[in-house]
Structure 1
Amino acid sequence: MTYHPRSEFMSVMMERGYLSDCTDYQGLDEALGNGPVTAYIGYDATAKSLHVGHLLNVMMLRWLQKCGHKPITLMGGGTTKVGDPSFRADERPLLTNAQIDENIAAMKRVFARYLAYGDGPTDALMLDNAEWLDGLNYLAFLRDIGRHFSVNRMLSFESVKSRLDRDQSLSFLEFNYMILQAYDFLELNRRHGCTLQMGGSDQWGNIVNGIDLTRRVIDTQVYGLTSPLLTTSDGRKMGKSAGGAMWLDPEMLSPYEFWQFWRNTTDADTGRFLKLYTELPVDECERLGALQGSEINEAKIILANAVTTLLHGSDAAEAAEATAREVFEKGGVGDDLPTVTVTGTELADGISIVQLIVRSGLAKSGKEAKRLIAENGARLDDTPLTDPGLIIDAGSQGGTIKLSAGRKRHALVKLGD
């Protein structure tokens, strides 16, 4: 449908490409125009860090706050114990309470880069659904909440239907997930006046359930808004690369590698990513995205600098750009490259170049590293690497070598203690 929003937040969502669907465009737009709206997105604590695939929705919360509304980051301390089955082929591995708590603590550091938390009317809140889910009485929950859910309707949602159509098992534990997520929305409305849930378009069924439950139990109007599930122009899932997930925590992925991920954006994606992942004016994003030939590379550097500055700060972005220019334009080593250290003890026994390629993150396995060498994609100190049996030993101790996979991925190996 074509809808022309009046509120600033809905205008931003539509103009910059964040909006996939909304349960009530006009109703939400009017609510946003009548004062601060409290909105949430839920994040299950399945890993120690968010990754680039989460960044679109984090930016939505950031824009919500910039437009004068109140964001809630809801940590799934309770729902992580169940696991979201949406569009998964198998059941998620179950984590211990200690693992969940550790993951939540690590994720909080990333959110603090994008949102201002506090007690003010538009300050962000960080909540944990274990607060209300851990103490539920099962029979009372079935009687008071479960009776509002139709199994027939739950089976019709695409996230469940796709699993069953492939004859893949869906446990009763997982089947409860959508009820618990719906209950989250009800509780957030009761406790914090939250009237909007946002999420990726794969969460549409869960969001609609929460809206329906809130209406049935406390007769309150709430809304849902979803973002598109992004793939890159070459068909890859956003946030994935040859080296694995693009983590947002600097302890899991260096600022340089994060910067380089954005610098390697395809020409066709540059303008779109500038709109979604930076705060540059839309006209400027479109101008940069329309550049041709070698000029588009400068647009990609602007993208990489802007996204890296938001997450890691301007100093990290400037250091990453300086390293990239040194490595790619001047043939230098670059002090900010990902670095691994090989101890003197290891060198005494000798360590294979294949192991070093894997340890530096340039390949996931020895098999992949050997294939990289066989296909002439690996280099040692900018010289093509042809011998997969090469051993680095004590004779090399005290130096630093540079390993490369292709033209754009590099790492340093420091030899000796």
Structure 2
Amino acid sequence: MTDIVDELRWRGLIAVSTDEDALRKAFADGPVTVYVGFDPTAASLHVGSLVQILTIRRLQQAGHRPLALVGGATGLIGDPKPTAERTLNAPGVVAGWVEQIRGQIEPFLSFEGPNAATMVNNLDWTSGLSAIEFLRDIGKYFRVNKMVSKEAVARRLNSEHGISYTEFSYQILQGMDFLELYRRYGCTMQTGGSDQWGNLTAGIDLIHRVEAAQVHALATPLITKADGTKFGKTEGGTVWLDPELTTPYAFYQFWLNVDDRDVSKFLRIFSFKTREEIEELERLTEERPQARAAQRALAEELTNLVHGADQTAAVIAASKALFGQGELTDLDGSTLAAALSELPYAQLSTLAPVVDLLTETGLVASKSAARRTIKEGGAYLNNAKVTSEDAVPTDSDLLHGRWLVLRRGKKNLAAIEVVPG
């Protein structure tokens, strides 16, 4: 493999780091033990979290040893938000989220071999720590004037909400994490998002003061989209890694719908394809953007990474079948329901003529337009062309006893769910 720093830089994964020459030497002399932290502030991680998960995976593949920290302690506090105070979640809730998030991270790492990964929880070294010990042994090394200069803290201090001592102390806790991992595992590097740079450097400073040792930090850039909308958000909300919160189909569609202006950047950040493979996909995007080859490659790889090969195959089959390139009857009920939930949708208690269904779902503006669409051969029910303006579906047409798929032309889709009253 090429130098890992060069690889990360080519992929656009280095926003800022400590001394790059020292970082290169540390990697060359390695293996380096490196950690990344995730706070359980929700029941699941989201696609933005993949930046850190996949970065630490790359470092492990380059021969270094990852520590993945799920913050059972810091999750009880919460990193300061730019706008207002976080809601403190109950300890039992946070403990449950720790286990869920741990389960989401583990499949990305290898826990065997000389550079086996380790999962850690900062509650292990904070739960028995008294307030006096914390203030005497850790707090004395932090200078308030430096703490208030951190961007997130400064922004809150200048807002109408201010900041509580609880959230103000977060950077001390994260700094203590780095010190503990240095002592327990010989960890000499931390990664995180660039918005975490102040917290990353807090740990570096603490280790330098307490242990007189040089350690490193590397921050990845915040992911932005060319259209100005927030990465990881759709009209339906956040794109989660948990399949119960974001279905594998919706997850696949998120990547499939990536803007041409963003797909090259996202391939480099999220994909494990080689430079040559990515450059070829970039060429195809430039020459034949309508084929969406890069988006398909990205969607398939990421869905496979997060949800597995079986789910990926199912959602690809569903995606094709909706547009007449496969059998809708071959799709299992959960995959079909997930796919149809992304479409314009109407729920009825009884079956109705196709003309009414086309109008009800908004595929056409009126019944006369629906009849015209049928007459011109542009209306489809479950991928079968509708030939009669008086056509009425029967119970045998219902997919899994409840669904109908309508299509106008090649690309305009809608779904009907029949739920007897």
TM-score bracket relative to the smaller structure: 0.7 to 0.9
- Counterparts of residues 276-315 of structure 1 (less than 5 Å): 276-290=269-283, 291-292=285-286, 293-315=288-310
CA contact (8 A) 2:361 2:414 kept: no
CA contact (8 A) 1:211 1:222 kept: yes
Q: Which residue of 2 aligns with 1:155?
A: 148
Q: Are 1:194 and 2:197 matched, yes or no?
A: no
Cα distance change, pair 332–137 in 1 and its aligned pair in 2 (3 A): same
Deviations 1:283-319 (A, max 9, x none): 3212312423445512211111111111122222222
Q: Which moved more, 1:251-260 or 1:128-137?
A: 251-260
- Counterparts of residues 51-130 of structure 1 (less than 5 Å): 51-85=46-80, 87-118=81-112, 120-130=113-123
Superposition RMSD on alpha carbons, in Å? Answer: 2.9
2:402 corresponds to which of 399, 404, 416: 399
Q: Which residue of 1 aligns with 2:375?
A: none
Tell me the distance in 2 between the aligned counterparts of 1:102 and 1:409.
Answer: 39
Q: Which residue of 2 aligns with 1:383?
A: 363
Runs of at least 5 residues in structure 1 that lack an aligned partner in the other structure: 1-5, 342-356, 364-377, 388-394
Instruction: Kindly name which structure, 1 or 2, has the bigger radius of gyration based on alpha carbons.
Output: 2
Cα distance change, pair 329–56 in 1 and its aligned pair in 2 (3 A): farther
Q: Which residue of 2 aligns with 1:165?
A: 158
Question: How far 1:403 sits from its partner (Å)?
Answer: 8.7
Deviations 1:167-215 (A, max 9, x none): 3221111001000000000000001110001000000001111000011
Cα distance change, pair 381–209 in 1 and its aligned pair in 2 (3 A): same
CA contact (8 A) 1:339 1:414 kept: no
1:268 corresponds to which of 231, 255, 261: 261
Runs of at least 5 residues in structure 2 that lack an aligned partner in the other structure: 345-357, 368-393
Question: How far 1:415 sits from its partner (Å)?
Answer: 3.2
Deviations 1:105-163 (A, max 9, x none): 11122212211124x43111111000011111111211121111111111111111122
CA contact (8 A) 1:381 1:401 kept: no
Tell me the distance in 2 between the aligned counterparts of 1:410 and 1:47.
Answer: 32
CA contact (8 A) 1:380 1:402 kept: no
CA contact (8 A) 1:198 1:224 kept: yes
Partner of 1:142, secondary structure, is helix
Tell me the distance in 1 between the aligned counterparts of 2:412 and 2:74.
Answer: 39
Question: How far 1:385 sits from its partner (Å)?
Answer: 7.6
What is the identity, as a one-letter code, of the residue corresponding to 1:400?
A: W
Partner of 1:166, secondary structure, is coil
Tell me the distance in 2 between the aligned counterparts of 1:72 and 1:43.
Answer: 11
Q: Under a length normalisation based on structure 1, what TM-score does the superposition of the two structures give?
A: 0.81
Q: Which residue of 2 aligns with 1:366?
A: none
CA contact (8 A) 1:20 1:227 kept: yes
Partner of 1:41, secondary structure, is strand
Q: How many residues align?
A: 370
What percent of counterpart residues are identical?
Answer: 39
Cα distance change, pair 45–408 in 1 and its aligned pair in 2 (3 A): farther
Q: Are 1:247 and 2:245 matched, yes or no?
A: no
- Counterparts of residues 354-365 of structure 1 (less than 5 Å): 360=341
Tell me the distance in 1 between the aligned counterparts of 2:217 and 2:412.
Answer: 40
What is the identity, as a one-letter code, of the residue corresponding to 1:90?
A: A
Tell me the distance in 2 between the aligned counterparts of 1:386 and 1:113.
Answer: 50
